[in-house]
Amino acid sequence: MAAAGPDDHPFIYSDKYADGAYEYRHVTVPRDMVGEVPKGRIMKEAEWRKLGIIQSCGWEHYAIHKPEPHILLFRRPLGTDPTTGKVDPRLAKAAVDKYRKEYDL
């Protein structure tokens, strides 16, 4: 059986948001697919990709929003190169500097 594609299930991707260390986003899984999300544990990248979630490299599933288990929380370090998933020190510094400037820190 082939993995579900983006047209098979309408995942909803949030805008990205950040703190001083990570950028974040959440993905809303269609309610009819909630049973396919493992309960009580974080998914590995291959698992969430198999569900049909499509994101650039470097994202890690780090939490499930307990009141709404169909909302999966993802993060990656600031400065992550989206093509490799690796942190580029120059990109990381630029992202942290941008965050600090934006919030007058």
Q: How many domains does the chain contain in total? A: 1
Q: Is residue 85 part of a domain?
A: yes
Domain that holds residue 83: 12-102
pLDDT one-digit tens code per residue, 19-63 = 989 999 999 999 899 899 998 899 999 999 999 999 999 999 999
Q: Is residue 5 part of a domain?
A: no
Q: Is residue 91 part of a domain?
A: yes
Q: What is the pLDDT of residue 98?
A: 85
What's this model's pTM, rounded to 2 decimal places?
A: 0.82
68: CATH:
3.30.170.10
Do residues 78 and 92 make contact, with C-beta atoms less than 8 angstroms apart?
A: yes
Q: Is residue 4 part of a domain?
A: no
Do residues 71 and 27 make contact, with C-beta atoms less than 8 angstroms apart?
A: yes
pLDDT at 4 over 70: no
Q: Is residue 94 part of a domain?
A: yes
Sign of the torsion angle spanned by Cα atoms 19, 23, 29, 35: negative
pLDDT at 11 over 90: yes
pLDDT one-digit tens code per residue, 86-101 = 998 888 888 888 888 8
